[in-house]
A = this chain, B = another copy of it.
């Protein structure tokens, strides 16, 4: 690379999140940084985009090597704004996080952190989402920062295939307790909801979404799963494809012989 790397950073926990600050701090070691985030947390926003409300953007910091923007948009809005209206050139790398809480297994589908990384991959920018398995605001990002440093250096050097980004999850243990890094598949699991039904002061019923994660393959299958690796205190890295086609099922589906109504 002939020029200083340009790195776009976003997250879904809001501009004040410690995980975001930790990631910006590590990225600054590698190049110039443009950071964009929302004032309020956007967890669970997935790949949502804003089409009914005008998007606002505010430059809140401009120092040598770093620009920080605030937006009312979702993480994916932020990435689109940065690519198209805020950055002088396409970034060499997009990183998202460090998320407060896991984005392993099917949680990748609900995650604003990973949607931002997928938006980068669709646009052929090497992109990585980082998540720490600790949702607390005061979570310790020391180990995550070290892992991020390793991954950022490697991806800046090696690149990633077009359309594929990385989902990096880090166990909530001390650096010396991390056993290593494992390349994994997304575990087959789902969130089993338990809606909590309550009644408001006006006598109307409402629900809070709660639930717990259910892993359908606790022992992994042939390929190591992210859930299993994390449980054993490894960092899990899952390559995520933005082509959602179930290629292995295409031939079988062709024998479906669909009547035209």
**B57 near A209 (CB under 8 angstroms)?**
no
With A46-B49, A47-B46, A54-B206 already in contact, the answer to whether A239 and B249 are too (CB < 8 A) is yes
Q: How far is the CA of A242 from the CA of B190 in the complex (A)?
A: 11
Say yes or no for A5: interface residue by CB 8 A criterion. no
Q: How far is the CA of A44 from the CA of B73 in the complex (A)?
A: 12
Query: Residue on B with the closest CB to A80?
Result: B193
Say yes or no for A208: interface residue by CB 8 A criterion. yes
Say yes or no for A161: interface residue by CB 8 A criterion. yes
Question: What is the total number of copies of this protein in its complex?
Answer: 2
A240-258 interface mask toward B, CB cutoff 8 Å, 1 = contact, 0 = none?
1111111101100110101
Say yes or no for A237: interface residue by CB 8 A criterion. yes
Which of the residues B175, B183, B194 comes within 8 Å of A253, measured between beta carbons? B183
Q: How far is the CA of A74 from the CA of B54 in the complex (A)?
A: 20
Which of the residues B55, B145, B181 comes within 8 Å of A208, measured between beta carbons? B55
A-B pairs with the 6 shortest C-beta distances?
A146-B261, A46-B47, A54-B206, A241-B246, A239-B246, A185-B245
Give the B-binding residues of A (Cβ under 8 A). Answer: 41, 43-52, 54-57, 76-77, 80-81, 83-85, 106, 108-110, 115, 118, 122-123, 145-151, 153-154, 158, 161, 163-164, 175, 178, 180-181, 183, 185-186, 188, 190, 193-195, 197-198, 200, 204-209, 223, 237-247, 249-250, 253-254, 256, 258-261
